[in-house]
Amino acid sequence: MDTLERARDSFYAIAMISMHQKLYQYARENAEMHQKLEQYARASLEMHQKTIDAIHRQ
């Protein structure tokens, strides 16, 4: 393997590491977003249940 091939392979390895780091960051942000959406959905469900309960008590 000559110097040019080693340089190319090193470049590809660095590019792959960078891509995987970005994918990991996106996955972490996506997980955080889904957690926030789950919290919102739970709060929304509780609010709707309280509304239904209030209607039934009338």
pLDDT over 70 for what percent of the chain? 100
* Sign, CA torsion 25/30/31/32: positive
pLDDT value at 44 more than 80: yes
The three-state (H, E, C) secondary structure of 40-53, written as one string: HHHHHHHHHHHHHH
Structure tokens at 6: 């080693």
* Sign, CA torsion 55/49/46/34: negative
Give residue-wise pLDDT tens across range 13-27: 999 999 999 999 999
Report the pLDDT averaged over residues 43-57.
Answer: 96
Q: What integer pLDDT is reported at residue 34 of this predicted model?
A: 98
Q: What integer pLDDT is reported at residue 33 of this predicted model?
A: 98
